[in-house]
Structure 1
Amino acid sequence: MTDVRGDRLDGALLRLIGVTLLGGIMGILDGTMVTVAAETLSTEFDRSLSVISWATTGYLLALTVTIPVTGWAVRRFGVKRLWLFGLVLFMGASLASALSWGVESLIAFRVVQGVGAGILDPLVLVILARAAGPSRAGRVMGMMGVVLSLGPVLGPVLGGLLLDSLGWRSMFSINIPIGVLALLLALRVIPADAPGERRAGLPLDIAGFALMAPALAALVLALTEAGERGAFATPTVLVPLVLGAVLLAAYVVRALRLRGTEPLIDVRLFAGRSFAASVTVQGLVGVGTFAGLFVLPLYYQIAHGHTAAAAGLLVAPLGLGSALAMPVAGRLSDRLGARTLVQGGALIAVAGAFALTFAGAEGAVVRSALAAFAIGLGLGGVGAPTMGSLYRTLPQEKVPQGSSVLYNLNQLGGALGVACAALIVAVGGFQGAYWFLVAVGVAILAASPLLPGRFREIPARPPEPDPEPSCAGTERA
C-alpha cells in the first residue's frame, strides 16, 4: 500500500480516512445497536431473552475469533482485496439478518456478520497506519478514535430510534446503502497493494488458529457471562475462563517453539517494551470505557429513576469527552510523544472517577455528567497517543499482527471492564464501581513510563550524487 507522507493531512489522506471509517463504522455500531432490540425480538420470535442474547454474543464471538486470522489474510491476499471482501460479506450478512425468519437464522446470520466485522475492524487500523506513516500516526489514530469513542454510545441510541420508527429489521437493512456507498468509494480511493506486500504462498498457522480461536472465544464468553450474572464463581464463567487460559498458554508455548512456519500472532512482539506497554494501556482504556458505559446507565436508572432511553442519552458525555480529546491528543503526540500526554489524560480520568465517588442517590445529574465527561476526556487523551506510539515503533511488516493484538486486547478489556463493574455493583454498589474506575486510571499511570517519549523520525539518506562525466567517457581518478 502506498504511504502518503508529509506533515499535513492532504486531500488524498483525508479522503482515505473518510472512506475507511465509513466502511468500518458499520461493524462498530452493530456491536451494540442490536442490544436495545432484545425484548422486541423475544416477543417477535416467542423465545426467552437468554436465547435472544446469542444474537449479540454470537456476533461478538465471531468477531473475536476472526481478528487474528485477518492479520494473516492481509499478508496473504492484500489489504484492498480483503477490505472489499469484508464489505461484501458484512452487507450480505446484514441483508440476511434483516430477512431472518426465526431466532436460529438470525443468530446464524449475525455470526457471519461478526466474521465480516472481524475483517473490517482491524483493517481500519492497518489501512490508516500504513497510509499515515510514523510521523502522522497520532493524529490519524486520533481521527479514527472519534468513531471508536462514539460507536458504543451511539449504537444503542441509533438502534432505539430505528426500532421505534422502522422496526427491528431496519437495524440490519440500514447497512446496505452505507455498505454500497463504502464499496464504490473504496474501489476508487483505497490504493492497491504495492509489489511485494502480498505473499501468495503464505500458509495459515492452522494449529495456532485451533488453539487461539477457541481460547479467545472462551475468554470473551466467560467475561460476558460474568457481566450478565454479576458473578465469577459460577460454572458458566469458570469453565470457559480456565479453558481459555489453558488454550492461550498452550498457544504461547507453541508459538515460541515454532520453526519454519510464521505463527498466527508473533508473541515475541511483546518482548518490545513500547509494544507491550501500548497494547496494555489500550486494553486498560477498554476496561475503563466499557466499565463506565455499563455503570452510568444503571446509576441513572436506579438512583434517579430515568428510563433506559434517557439513561443512554445521559451517558453520552463520556463518549463525547473521548471524541473531543482524541484528535487533539493524537495530533500533539506526533510532536510530544505519548508518555506525557497519557499521564495527563490518566490524571484527568482519575479526577473524574474520583468525583463520581461522591455521587449518591441524591447527587445532581449535571455533576455526574460532568464527571463522566472528564473520564471520557481523560481516556481519549490516553487512547490516541497510545495507538500512535504503537504504530510509530512497529515495523511495517508487523502492522497487521500488531493491529490484531491491539483490537483483541481492547475487546477483552471491554468485556473484562463490564464483568468487573457488574460484580462490584452487585457486591459493593455504585461507590465500589467508581473506585474501580479510579484504579484503572492509576494502573494506566503506572504503565505510562514504559511508553516512548518524543518521536524523532530518522531522515532518509540522500541519494549519492552522480559522478561527473569526463570528456573521454571514463571515470575521473
Structure 2
Amino acid sequence: MDDKRVPIKTVLAIIAVALVSFSGIMAETSMNVTFTTLAQTFGSNLNTIQWVTAGYLLAVTIAITTSAYTTKRFSIRAVWLVSILLFIVGSLVGACALNLPMLILGRVLEGTASGIAMPLSFNIVIYTVPSERIGTWLGFSSLVVSLAPSFGPSYGGLILDHFGWRAIFIILLIAPALSLMMGWQTINHIDNRSKTSGFDWGAFSLFAIILMTSLLLVNQFEQHGFNWPLGILMVVAIVALVWHYQHSRKSFLNFTLFRQGRFLALLVPVALYMFSMLGLNLIIPTLAENELHTSSFIAGFALLPGALTGALLNPYFGRMYDHRGGKLPMYLGNWILLGAVSIMATFKLQWGLSFLIGIYIVYIIGRNMAYFGAQTAAIDDQPPVNQSDATAIIQTFQMFMGSMGTTVGALFQTQFGILNGFKTFSCFSIGIAVVNGLLMWGYYRSKKRSR
C-alpha cells in the first residue's frame, strides 16, 4: 500500500499532536544550556538545578502511565486539548517563576502535558495506518518530535544570550497555537474509545511513588549516601503494587506484558538508549561551555548537527524496518553507538568542539537506528488489543530512564568534574551498548525458536 493513501487528515492530526510533545521537549532541551545561569540566579548548585530537567522528565513518565486508560476512556481530541491547556499554564508559570520551586512546578506542568500527548501521536498511527507502513509513519511521527532536541539547545542558547531564560517559555507558546490550528478540524475524526473499567488510582499512586523514590535515591546519593528510609519506602511500594495489581479489577498499565521475555528484551534497550542520550545531552553543553569555553549559544549548538541528522533519518530508519525488519537497524545501530561512546570515553580537550560535534553525530545515528528498530518491533509484536498498553509501558520506562540519565549525568559531573564526568558516563554507555546487544541477540534467538 502506498503512503499517499494515508489521508491528509491523519497526517495533520499526527503533526498536531506531536507538536505538543515537540513543545515540551524543546523546553526541556533548551533549558539544559541555562543551568549555569539558573544556578547563579537562584543561588543553587548543579545537582539541585538539574531538577528543572529531571522534574519535567519524571512528570512525563508519570503522565504516560495513564495513556493506556485515557486512550480507551476518552476521545483523542479531548486528551489532546487537555495537554495543550496544561502546557500553556506550565509555560506561563515557568516564565513568571520567582524561585526555583516555582520554576520546577512550571516544568512539571509542561512535562504532564507532554506525557499526555506523546503516546497520542503513536496511537493515531497504530489506529489508522496499515500495518505494513507502521515503521514509516512511526518514523514520521518521531521526526516531528525529534526535531525538538535538534533545535532546543541552540534555541535555548540564542534566547538566553539575547533575551534571558524566561523568554524561552514565552516564545514556545507558538507551538501549541500551531497545534490548535492544525488539529481543530482533523483530530475529531479519530475516536478509539472502548468500554473499560474505572481508573486504578491505587496502582497509579504506588507506581508514581516507586518512580519518584528511585530517582530521589540516585539524586541524593552524592550528598547523603544511600537514603535507607527512601529505599524502604520504594521496596514497600513495589510489594504493595504487586499485591494490589493481583487483586484489582480496575484499569492501569497491563503489567502482564512483563511476563513476555521477548517484550522485555526490547523494552530494556529502548529505555537504556534514552538513559544514555539524555545523560549526554545534559553533559555535552556543560562541557562545551565550561571546559571548551564557548558561549551558551555555541554550547547548545554542539548538539544541533547530531540531533538534526538523527531526526531527519528517522523516517528512513522506519522504511528500513518496513522492508528489512528490525534486525539490521538494531544490530548495526548498536555497533555504531558502541564505537562512538568508546571514542567519547577517551576524549581530550585539545580535540576541540568540532570533533565533539562530529562524534556526537555518529553516536546519534547509531542510537536512533537501534532505538527505533527496537521500539517499533516491541509494539509491532503485540496483538492490536495490547498495542496501546505496550506503547504506554515503553514510553513510560524510556522517559523514566531518561530522567535517571539526566540525574546520573549531573551526579557524575559533580562527583568527578565536568570532563571526567563526561568520560565516566561514556564508559557507562559502553556497558549499555554491550548489554543491549546481548538482549537483542536473545530476542532474535527466541523469535527464531518460536517459529
Give the TM bin, normalised by the shorter chain: 0.7 to 0.9
**Counterpart in the other structure of 1:351:** 339
Q: Structure 1 length normalisation: TM-score?
A: 0.81
Deviation (angstroms), 1:380:
0.9
The residue aligned with 1:207 is 202
Distance 1:22 1:253, change over 3 A: same
Residues 261-270 or 319-328, more deviating: 319-328
Does the CA contact (< 8 Å) of 2:16 and 2:178 recur in 1?
Answer: no
Q: 2:356 maps to which residue?
A: 368
Moved more, 280-289 or 30-39: 30-39
Amino acid at match of 1:22: L
1:391 aligns with 2:403: no
How far off its partner does 1:131 sit? 2.7
Query: Which range is displaced more, 320-329 or 32-41?
Result: 32-41
- Cα distance in 2, alignment partners of residues 51 and 414 from structure 1: 17
Range moving further from structure 2, 423-432 or 324-333: 423-432
Pair 296,388 (structure 1): closer, same or farther in 2 beyond 3 Å: same
Please state how far the C-alpha of 1:430 moved relative to its aligned partner.
Answer: 4.4
CA RMSD of aligned residues (A): 3.2
The separation in 1 between residues aligned to 2:400 and 2:55, in whole angstroms, is: 15
The answer as to 2:411 corresponding to 1:416 is no
Contact 1:294–1:421 (8 Å) recurs in 2? yes
Q: Report whether the alignment pairs 1:258 with 2:236.
A: no
Query: Which residue in the other structure is 1:170 paired with?
Result: 167
* Distance change (3 Å), C-alpha of 1:411 and 1:356: same
Counterpart-to-counterpart distance in 1, 2:102 and 2:406:
28
How far apart are residue 301 of structure 1 and its match?
A: 4.5
2:395 maps to 407
Deviation per CA, 1:142-198: give whole Å up to 9, x if none: 223334444335323212322333343322222433212212321211243447x33
The equivalences for 1:64-83 within 5 A come to: 64-83=61-80
The equivalent residue for 2:238 is: 248
Of stretches 60-69 and 46-55 in structure 1, the one that deviates more from structure 2 is 46-55
Letter in 2 for 1:212: F
Deviation at 1:296, TM superposition (A): 3.1
1:192 corresponds to 2:183: no
- The question of 1:180 aligning with 2:180 is answered no
Question: Aligned partners of 1:57, 1:295: CA distance in 2, in Å?
Answer: 14
In terms of Rg, which structure is larger? 1
Q: Deviations over 1:79-115 (max 9, x none)?
A: 2221122112222332344345555554444433332
Distance change >3 Å, CA 343–CA 58, structure 1 → 2: closer
The letter of the residue matching 1:211 is L
Contact 1:303 1:362 in 2 (8 A): no
Structure 1 gap segments, 5+ residues each:
1-5, 456-477
CA contact (8 A) 1:317 1:376 kept: no
Per-residue deviation, residues 433-467 of structure 1 (Å, max 9, x unmatched) = 332222222222111124469x9xxxxxxxxxxxx
Counterparts of 2:71 and 2:411, CA distance in 1: 39
**For the structure 1 residues 383 and 315, does the alpha-carbon distance in structure 2 shift closer, same or farther, using more than 3 Å as the test?**
same
Query: 1:327-378 CA deviation, whole Å, 9 max, x = no partner?
Result: 2111110122112220011011111222334432332544333222111110
CA distance 1:170–1:370, change in 2 (3 Å): closer
Counterparts of 1:213 and 1:358, CA distance in 2: 38
Contact 2:288 2:294 (C-alpha < 8 Å) held by counterparts: yes
Name the amino acid aligned to 2:260: G
| Equivalence for 1:29 | 26
**For this pair of structures, how many residues does the alignment match?**
439
Give the structure 2 partner of residue 296 of structure 1: 284
Looking at structure 2, the residues matched to 28 and 284 of structure 1 have their Cα atoms a distance apart, in angstroms, of 18
Query: Distance in 1 between the 2:410 and 2:92 partners?
Result: 34
Map Cα deviations across residues 189-237 of structure 1 (whole Å, 9 max, x no partner): 1243447x333x63011221221111112223334455xxxx386256x
2:212 to 209, 217, 235: 217
Aligned partners of 1:441, 1:322: CA distance in 2, in Å? 18
CA distance 1:295–1:103, change in 2 (3 Å): closer
Distance across 2 between alignment mates of 1:417 and 1:100: 26
Distance 1:62 1:157, change over 3 A: same
Question: Quick one: structure 1 residues 32 and 205, their matched pair in 2 at CA, closer, same or farther if it must change by over 3 Å?
Answer: same
Structure 1 residues 344 and 42, CA gap change in structure 2 (3 angstroms) = closer
* 2:189 partner SS: coil
Question: What secondary structure is seen at the aligned counterpart in 1 of 2:194?
Answer: coil
> Is 2:21–2:115's contact at 8 Å kept on the other side of the alignment?
no
More helix by share: 2
Q: 2:365 pairs with 377, 382, 398, which one?
A: 377
Q: What amino acid maps onto 1:73 in structure 2? A: T
C-alpha deviation, 1:314, in angstroms: 2.0
- Rounded Cα–Cα distance in structure 1 between residues aligned with 2:35 and 2:421: 26
Answer yes or no: is 1:438 the counterpart of 2:430.
yes
Percent of residue pairs bearing the same amino acid type = 23
Deviation at 1:413, TM superposition (A): 2.0
For residue 316 of structure 2, what is the aligned residue in structure 1? Answer: 328
Q: Distance in 1 between matches of 2:127 and 2:212?
A: 29
Q: Distance in 1 between matches of 2:407 and 2:384?
A: 35
Stretch moving more, 132-141 or 103-112: 103-112
Does the CA-based 8 Å contact 1:27-1:120 persist in structure 2?
no
**Distance in 2, Cα, partners of 1:92 & 1:429:** 36
Match of 1:278 in 2: 266
For 1:101-116, list aligned pairs within 5 A. 105-116=102-113
Alignment TM-score, normalising by the size of structure 2:
0.85
Q: Does 1:234 align with 2:225?
A: yes
* 1:203 maps to amino acid: G
Which of 3, 7, 10 is the matching residue for 1:8?
Answer: 3
In structure 2, do the counterparts of structure 1 residues 181 and 68 end up closer, same or farther at CA, with 3 Å as the change threshold? same
Supply the distance in 1 between the matched residues of 2:121 and 2:235 (Cα, whole angstroms): 28
Give distance in 1, aligned partners of 2:109 and 2:282.
Answer: 26
